[in-house]
Amino acid sequence: MTDTPGGPSLHKSPATDPARPRPPRLVLYAMVALILSGLGAVLASASLYTGSVKTWVRDGARDSQADKIVDKLDDYKKAGPTAGNRASELATLRTQVRDLKKVPSDQLSPRIAQLKPAVTALQTGANSKQRGLVGDMRTQFDDLDKLPKQVSAQQKGALISSLIVLVALAVAASAAYRGRYWTRWAVLGLWVLATFTGTLAGLGSVMSVAADIPALFKVPAFVAGLGLVVAVVLVNLRPSVAFFNLTRPARPAGQQRRGLFQPAPRPSGPRGGGGLFGGGARAATRQPTVPERETSAGTERARAKQRSNAEAVAKGADLARRRAKASKSRRTGV
């Protein structure tokens, strides 16, 4: 659409529209915090592909799996007698599993292949509970052998979730600039979802700032978590709430806000009394209004006046007839 020559411009930007108030500074600061939160989450997830952070993730997963296998070995020892060579075999296997923490992640497969036969040999002479523990240990060794694939899947999942968070926060920032009345509830909901789903924009990123984590991952994750917390606070301050309430839909005149546990208002029209065992429809009795009562009273007074006038005329005619008869009878008697 083109503007009419010499006429008013048909393209009005929101910032120059005089009918629309400008967002307060707190709303603008909240928008910046939302964008920084989304960008921080994306940068933190992208840092998982760098060398130092990737090694830290792999080593953490490796150590966690090794500790689980050591715990299973301890449970195996407690589940039944381990006399003779079995006790020494368990001690040797436990030491070898703990030494896996010192092996680089890309060299785990050969060591795991050497330890699996020793774990399988523990089934000989074992009871049912011990055999179940041996099966659990073999599953954990398989998971440890698939560690590179698991880390790769974790990296992809973190990056995809961070991109989704960035898009959602950008939409919330746009709604805040436009003054949508539901913006503060949307920001609060995004913060709750990010916290309980474990995304990088949640509260956990703020709490883990003191942990022993590579700074390349910790700093952008902290910015992401802190930015969303700041945005939640800013959009719920009084100037922001007043700005968002300007676009709240108006309720019909005379309609009051009903409480959460307040019963719904009854309809004023006729209600049917029918049902499974009910009768037919019954019209609800309606009380007359003040003008209607005044009109009805005036009509009754007019009718009463007409009746009194008719009665007075009838009485006058009767009295005239009686006087005429009396006068005639006196003349006849004379």
> What SS3 class is residue 64?
helix
- The pLDDT of residue 316 is 81
Reported as a single tens digit per residue, the pLDDT across 148-200 is 888 899 999 999 999 999 999 999 999 999 999 999 999 999 999 999 998 89
What is the CB-side half-sphere exposure of residue 296 using CA atoms within 13 A?
Answer: 6
Look at residue 1 in the predicted model and tell me its pLDDT: 46
Q: What is the pLDDT of residue 183?
A: 92
What's residue 248's pLDDT? 83
- Cα gap 140→64, rounded to integer Å: 10
**Helix residue ranges, H only, the chain:** 25-46, 51-78, 85-98, 108-120, 128-145, 147-178, 183-196, 203-207, 215-235, 238-244, 290-333
Structure confidence by residue, pLDDT tens digits, 46-60: 999 998 898 888 888
- Please report the pLDDT score of residue 148 as a whole number: 85
> Quick one: pLDDT at residue 210?
83
Ranges of the chain with pLDDT below 70: 1-20, 82-84, 251-298, 333-334
- Quote the CA–CA distance of 120 and 140 in Å, as a whole number: 13
**pLDDT score at 216:** 92
Residues 6+ apart with CB under 8 A from 259: none
pLDDT at 231: 96
pTM value is 0.65
CA distance 195 to 133: 35
pLDDT for position 145: 86
